[in-house]
A = this chain, B = another copy of it.
Amino acid sequence: MTTTTTPTVTADLAISLDGYIAGTDVTLDNPGGNGAEPLFEWIHNLASWRERQGMTGGEENRDSELMREWFDATGAVIMGRMMYDTGEKFWGDNPPFHTPVFVLTHRPRPTLVKEGDTTFTFVPDGIHSALTQAKAAAGSRNVDIAGGAGTVQQYLEEGLIDELQLHIVPALLGAGLRLFEGLGPEAGRRNLEPVRTIATPLATHLKYRFVK
């Protein structure tokens, strides 16, 4: 249950039917990896997504509503260093987060204050520290673990994610980075509860809650 004192920790990811959240050969210049286009192409024309990037137009459909719901519910974001490095230039002076963002890194550096209420705070002392800081910053809203794959996996492994929303796109990638990798059989002791399922032609949106 969401309360005002303990923000819900979410992860919200586009995933292929065969479980990939990125393609092959992910690099700084190719953060989605090869073959990953089907994961993201349904997003580009959503009105809520475009609005968030400072663009106009796009479609106002159920998928767009879900995207807006997630944006609005998020009060702080955590991401890995590679996601930050690959996004930094693309996001520009007015990044699409509009909340405090905590970046996991090994090298401390000063907080960056951007336009539109986005700040980037660099956290050198681990995922728990980042979560504590993000929870303090999120107020009554959620903390979202944005990515990349390795970062979400770390939080999953530690049982720190409360709600997982997967947007299953109707595509197979056949290769790439899987969301669920290396969890091990102890993952079987986690209890998942379906929260809702919303199907559109673009994606099947599944939301689950981890219950203690």
Contacts and interface: CB of A to CB of B under 8 A. Distances in A.
Interface of A: 17-19, 23-24, 34-35, 38, 166, 168, 170-175, 178-180, 183-188, 190, 192-194, 196-197, 199, 201, 204, 206, 208
A172 B190 contact: yes
Contacts of A166: 17
B170 A19 contact: no
A171 B180 CA distance: 12
Nearest to A157: B174
A208 to B, nearest CB: 6
Contact of A174 (B170, B184, B197): B184
B199 A194 contact: yes
A17 B23 CA distance: 19
Contact of A19 (B180, B186, B201, B206): B180
Contact of A184 (B175, B179, B199): B175
Given A19-B19, A168-B206, A173 B201 contact: no
Contacts of A197: 197, 199, 204
A137 to B, nearest CB: 29
